[in-house]
Copies of this chain bind each other. A is one copy, B any other.
Amino acid sequence: MKKDSTLPPPTLERLARLYVLLGKLQNQGLQAVSSKRLSELLGVPDHTIRKDLSFLREGLGTEQLTGKEKTGVGKPGSGLGRGYPLESLRVLIGAKLGLTHPRTACLVGLGNLGVAILNRRIWQEGVYRLVAAFDLSENRLELLSTKIPLYHARELEGVVRKYRIEIGILTVPPEAAQETADRLVRAGIRGIINFAPVVLTVKSNRVLVRNVSLAGELNILSAYLYQQEDVDG
């Protein structure tokens, strides 16, 4: 595996989101975008976007980029087709972030939130494969109609191991979150996206956890609003 120098975390995270945006722009039938346009769409300054994209140059293979040479991802100049060609930019970012081969995921907890996630179109797009979903309630499992394979929660470890599931999405009640996370980790999961309002303790430092916290978002939003209020008067 190629040992590209790692990206600055803020750049990595912006590129990961940019990747999503590029897909949407492609679906709109566009061919190219300028850093200025991306800037408006993403709320990130245009020079930051250009700087981020400049990291795509590294480890570009055998093309022998020598010192001063330009990456040549984007096309300068005026006119409609100018800017970054969506397709090739998306491919480059995908390669850089390792989004080229599909990842397997599972979903634990099929309540309201779990079902909302189950229904997302993202699972039809092929980049992420939702290969299993679990719940404790037999009833719940019977009622749901979906193409995703459903299992009782007791089968969690077995299924995760069997399919070598890499990512777990946690949508169980708060009381069950830590225990479920422990089970996922024991079964060899590599990353968890946690929606439960709980601070998970995950000892293994091989396992990455990302928290999606409504309370956190509300507080962050309020704090920024408060700072605005301070300034405005």
Main secondary structure of the interface of A (DSSP, over half): helix
Contact B1–A120 (Cβ < 8 Å): no
Point out the residue from B7, B116, B215, B220 that lies within 8 Å of A227, measured CB to CB. Answer: B7
Point out the residue from B208, B213, B222 that lies within 8 Å of A97, measured CB to CB. Answer: B222
A19 within 8 A of partner (CB): yes
A99 within 8 A of partner (CB): yes
Contact A42–B199 (Cβ < 8 Å): yes
Complex contacts, A209 vs chain B, CB 8 Å:
43
Contact A228–B214 (Cβ < 8 Å): no
Query: How many copies altogether?
Result: 2
A80 within 8 A of partner (CB): no
Complex contacts, A43 vs chain B, CB 8 Å:
209
Contact B221–A20 (Cβ < 8 Å): no
Question: Which residues of chain A (52-101) have a CB below 8 Å from chain B?
Answer: 97-99
Segment with Cβ contacts to B, from A8-16, A147-155, A156-164: A8-16
27 A-B pairs in the complex with CB atoms less than 8 angstroms apart: A1-B230, A2-B230, A3-B230, A6-B231, A7-B227, A12-B223, A12-B224, A15-B223, A16-B222, A20-B219, A98-B222, A98-B226, A99-B226, A103-B218, A112-B115, A122-B197, A122-B215, A167-B218, A191-B222, A191-B225, A193-B214, A208-B221, A208-B224, A208-B225, A208-B228, A212-B212, A212-B217
